[in-house]
Structure 1
């Protein structure tokens, strides 16, 4: 693995995850109450003994830089590093990243200098656990120029992915990025070729790219240098290369979720609370997910009723009811409040007198006030929600922009903005 360099693509402006990406890069969005999205691919690299890791980003990267600097410091006796590379102007390129391939191209001289055999290209907004050593081994065993990590998928979601056809040896013979209509029907294959049972193959007749690639070093350099017009791996580089190069498919048959939209992000977080076995678990001792160490006190729960929920460290919960929810670090919920089907991201800091039972009426603390009802909501960090507030989407609105009032609605999910103030007695 010392001969592998990992490149994590931080994504663009994150419009599908807006407003969570209003003040931060997409990889810096919180997940599971205490982690960031970027922790998933970085932890997978570390667990796979890949310690040379670059992260490419260009939007709102301050919080991402801060998190990486605080979370990942390798010993000075190794070559290991995790480094953020932001979009920059150079004599060769004076524009921002135009796509996934263009992002890598703009730093090609830096990557070229490393004495490695392969480049591992990853995405920064997926939730999964993967041992890249098996992926690299398959790439080397098949003498592939490019290897794509793939998974079988049903027709309902197929048009959101790059789809491919493969031969009996696993070689990609056709590739189409997000086909629709008749073009989609033509990409259906017999997925028993991947080892699926006939029943599974009938339900999932498409082979989808996960956006995870391994390139031979010289192959990637050639592809990026020979045509500057090709700016995206999925739309241009991979389909064009399938005619000339040995592109192999590697089956990944475990949990994987693209959490690049508000609805997918919300569902993936709340799925962590499922019993007895959630689809993805952070409780894996062999393959842990790493993040920044905060040294927070234990959570304090004063006469609370909590069910099917995850509560991060440093929270203070007073005589409240919490069901099927995820509460992030330093969350605060006052007495007689009800939290259901909700993701609360918590707070970046504590306020003075955080444990006081009585708070001055003129002071609205960070967190959820008294006798409030919060249902099917994402509450971003440092939000202040007053007393007797109801956030229940009473009119079942699917889409709304209420930035002046401190919230958006996406796919019926209310998203309270970071640092927002929701006054007492508000009903949403």
Structure 2
């Protein structure tokens, strides 16, 4: 029986998500009313039957490690199943990880422990559902040295991605980073194949490629720019079409759903898409569950119903986490994480509230993201006057206001 191990790259700093990444790594950012970004790749791997997983961390890893310890205790009873953190430790020299390829290179000892036939190298900061087992079967059927997960995108949008040029069999001829003229898919001249940043290598091929790259002084030590860009000339490299298969329990509306939430505006849009009647990302499919926050909490509660006086606890078109108390306030078109309290006469529209937020009496919040543990003062106004908000908070290009704890001098909290 062939063996495999998954190496999940989770050291990303996420500069474009600042200040949400001020106290946590990008994979540890909250998403979807209950989860962290890393929960999506881990759920995909576990649901697909891959139970030997190493998570490689670096930037501000405390929050991520705590989450993995509490939410993903896979190794508690079965010795050959594990999700383990591999912190940056300068294993091969006096430097931190210089790139995604170097992160794996500095952890080659982890592969020797398992001696796998194939190694999966996946990112951890995208939102999607994927049956990785189907990709693995494709990789082995093609006897590929390297298989790249790809997503068909309109050719007009492909200039923002790393794009793969493939032949009629799916074999990769070339890789181009953000091309001005993207090569089209065979038979689909209006579409191009974008790399998702997920790879499956034959183990020996990966070792050889990482050692070769480590010796290149001019290399950025990045899987896309340095390994994938040159591998087609030496290796059998194939493109796996992610949109060609649906996970268990999914329907056509979810086909090809994949979101890069690497900016505040992209994150905000993906979050609020969840409140639609039938979102493309189905968080209620028990056949392909997204596993995440195991913290115990009571049920959500809505109190006060003084309609004549305007003191009504209610939520409309909103995702609500466990332990939320809406006490005489009104929430519309929002995503509210666990243990948030909405106090009387407050009004929240088009917002994302991270765990443990407390919205003071009479406050009004609009088109904003409130970080974990922020206490919004009574009567506060956020998102109604962007010029005033710009003097106090972070505002994205699209006008989304992001509020962190230290914006109100609340720096003695935790993540």
TM-score normalised by structure 1 residue count = 0.86
2:269 counterpart (267, 270, 280): 267
Offset at residue 396 of structure 1 (A): 6.3
Offset at residue 167 of structure 1 (A): 0.4
Q: Is the 8 A contact 1:152 1:191 kept in 2?
A: no
In structure 2, how many angstroms separate the alpha carbons of the residues matched to 1:317 and 1:378? 18
1:374 counterpart (365, 381, 389): 365
In structure 2, how many angstroms separate the alpha carbons of the residues matched to 1:66 and 1:296? 18
Alignment of 1:155-174 (within 5 A): 155-174=155-174
Q: Secondary structure at the match of 1:242?
A: helix
TM-aligned CA distance change 1:418 to 1:395, over 3 Å: closer
Q: Is the 8 A contact 2:349 2:365 kept in 1?
A: yes
Offset at residue 305 of structure 1 (A): 3.0
| Residue aligning to 1:188 | 183
Q: Secondary structure at the match of 1:376?
A: strand
Query: How far does the alpha carbon of each residue in 1:280-318 deviate from its partner, in whole angstroms, 9 at most, with x for none?
Result: 011011110111311101111013232111010001111
Query: How far does the alpha carbon of each residue in 1:132-176 deviate from its partner, in whole angstroms, 9 at most, with x for none?
Result: 000000000011110111111124532321101110111000111
Q: Is the 8 A contact 2:314 2:326 kept in 1?
A: no
RMSD of Structure 2 on Structure 1 (CA)? 1.9
Alignment of 1:229-378 (within 5 A): 229=216, 230=219, 231-253=221-243, 254-275=256-277, 277-302=278-303, 303=305, 304-347=313-356, 367-378=358-369
1:389 counterpart (367, 380, 391): 380
Alignment of 1:30-69 (within 5 A): 30-69=30-69
TM-aligned CA distance change 1:328 to 1:191, over 3 Å: farther
Q: Is the 8 A contact 2:173 2:232 kept in 1?
A: yes
Aligned residues: 384
| Residue aligning to 2:116 | 116
Query: How far does the alpha carbon of each residue in 1:367-422 deviate from its partner, in whole angstroms, 9 at most, with x for none?
Result: 1111111000000000011111111252469x95x5xx4x3111211001146438
Q: Where in structure 1 are there 5+ consecutive unaligned residues?
A: 194-200, 348-365, 424-428
Tell whether 2:195 aligns with 1:209: yes
Offset at residue 88 of structure 1 (A): 1.2
In structure 2, how many angstroms separate the alpha carbons of the residues matched to 1:72 and 1:10? 15
Q: Is the 8 A contact 2:360 2:379 kept in 1?
A: yes
Q: Secondary structure at the match of 1:265?
A: helix
TM-aligned CA distance change 1:418 to 1:215, over 3 Å: farther
In structure 1, how many angstroms separate the alpha carbons of the residues matched to 2:293 and 2:386? 40
In structure 2, how many angstroms separate the alpha carbons of the residues matched to 1:420 and 1:2? 52
In structure 2, how many angstroms separate the alpha carbons of the residues matched to 1:39 and 1:340? 27
Q: Is the 8 A contact 2:324 2:340 kept in 1?
A: yes
Task: Give the stretch that moved more between structures: 290-299 or 242-251.
Answer: 290-299
| Residue aligning to 1:363 | none
TM-aligned CA distance change 1:278 to 1:173, over 3 Å: same
In structure 2, how many angstroms separate the alpha carbons of the residues matched to 1:393 and 1:93? 51
In structure 2, how many angstroms separate the alpha carbons of the residues matched to 1:106 and 1:152? 32
| Residue aligning to 1:79 | 80
In structure 1, how many angstroms separate the alpha carbons of the residues matched to 2:112 and 2:164? 29
Q: Is the 8 A contact 1:299 1:314 kept in 2?
A: yes
TM-aligned CA distance change 1:161 to 1:282, over 3 Å: same
Tell whether 2:408 aligns with 1:421: yes
Query: How far does the alpha carbon of each residue in 1:228-256 deviate from its partner, in whole angstroms, 9 at most, with x for none?
Result: 13400110101111111111011112200
| Residue aligning to 1:198 | none
In structure 2, how many angstroms separate the alpha carbons of the residues matched to 1:225 and 1:319? 61
- Runs of 4+ that moved beyond 6 A: none
Q: Where in structure 2 are there 5+ consecutive unaligned residues?
A: 244-255, 306-312, 411-415
Q: Secondary structure at the match of 1:341?
A: strand
Q: Is the 8 A contact 2:14 2:262 kept in 1?
A: yes
Query: How far does the alpha carbon of each residue in 1:12-68 deviate from its partner, in whole angstroms, 9 at most, with x for none?
Result: 321011110100111111111211111111111110110111111211101111111
| Residue aligning to 1:128 | 128
TM-aligned CA distance change 1:238 to 1:368, over 3 Å: same
In structure 1, how many angstroms separate the alpha carbons of the residues matched to 2:58 and 2:167? 38
Q: Secondary structure at the match of 2:205?
A: helix
